[in-house]
Structure 1
């Protein structure tokens, strides 16, 4: 990152990133492996209670991540807007939650929308969840799915784009 790097916030304002913060962001993947630093970072930016966080967890969090009693395995959060995860939710691995995209007419602008995931959801292997999506309670998202639209409660959904396959009784 150069000294003129920009940090985009969910309200649409942009702020220059100070050089010291740029260095910290570059070192974050390695520093998160240091237990003391990782706990300080998680305490500052994440609201994660009684959750299991594996060493492969990585987050870019200028905004807010809320999770309670969830299992975060090798999951990458790139969130410029809030991410809310309900209790009992599990991530199998190598998942990406991406709350931001670029404005089609002006690539210098970032659009950020929150992600909401309900209770008792299973996000299986290598799923991508895009900003603005709400996933209901008691949902299974199939491996390799790209979730671009809201998923209702009590269903199994999969595919690219992710669609409801069947209802869970």
Structure 2
């Protein structure tokens, strides 16, 4: 029986050592591309988009305002018409999937990574990564934090500063720490709130 690589463990949601040489090299490669993107001439949209395409796993037409940071990039799936404002950080040890027409405000953190509660495992450097799924037409407000394992349903709104540590139903607005539902969205409503 062959043992799994640390990358295979990471991608399967098992405990893994992020200090592994191959994972470290993957992160360094992503950091170099992020650095290049963050310093790129912002007026060269075509060139900027080409860098985003090189960095992320799936690109269906997106715009990300610099600065942008991620761990690996290859676990990020961007839907059509994706937009992220300045300062987006995605810690993508597991897959992070965005549907179409997603809008992200400045200063948002999305993290698939978590650490063991057991202090012995934690001090050894182990971590796990759990996927995050963001549906279609989701708006994530300024400074929000989306934690590992969360699914956000279509049309949901995450209020500024919210910490999302559990699934968010479609057509709801969540706010607070931890985030909870404060409103249901009536999709037939014609006027903007």
- TM category (shorter chain) comes to 0.7 to 0.9
Task: Extract unaligned runs of 5+ from structure 2.
Answer: 1-5, 42-46, 187-193
- Distance apart, 1:132 and its partner CA: 0.3
What's the counterpart of residue 64 of structure 1? 75
What's the counterpart of residue 10 of structure 1? 11
Kindly indicate whether residue 123 of structure 2 is the aligned counterpart of residue 112 of structure 1.
no
Higher strand share: 1
Kindly indicate whether residue 177 of structure 2 is the aligned counterpart of residue 160 of structure 1.
yes
Between the aligned partners of 2:52 and 2:63, the Cα distance in structure 1 is 16
- Distance apart, 1:113 and its partner CA: 0.2
What's the counterpart of residue 82 of structure 1? 95
- Distance apart, 1:34 and its partner CA: 3.6
- When the two structures are superposed, what TM-score results if normalisation uses the length of structure 1? 0.83
Is 2:110–2:146's contact at 8 Å kept on the other side of the alignment?
A: yes
Kindly indicate whether residue 138 of structure 2 is the aligned counterpart of residue 121 of structure 1.
yes
Residues 23, 125 of structure 1: CA spacing in aligned structure 2 closer, same or farther, 3 A cutoff?
A: closer
- SS, match of residue 53 in structure 2: helix
| 1:13-52 alignment runs, 5 A limit | 13-14=16-17, 15-17=20-22, 24=29, 27-32=32-37, 33-34=39-40, 39-40=50-51, 42-52=53-63
Is 2:110–2:145's contact at 8 Å kept on the other side of the alignment?
A: yes
Kindly indicate whether residue 178 of structure 2 is the aligned counterpart of residue 149 of structure 1.
no
Cα RMSD for the two superposed structures: 2.6
- When the two structures are superposed, what TM-score results if normalisation uses the length of structure 2? 0.74
Residues 21, 114 of structure 1: CA spacing in aligned structure 2 closer, same or farther, 3 A cutoff?
A: closer
- Distance apart, 1:18 and its partner CA: 8.2
Larger radius of gyration: 2
- Distance apart, 1:60 and its partner CA: 1.5
Residues 18, 65 of structure 1: CA spacing in aligned structure 2 closer, same or farther, 3 A cutoff?
A: closer
What's the counterpart of residue 101 of structure 1? 114
Is 1:31–1:38's contact at 8 Å kept on the other side of the alignment?
A: no
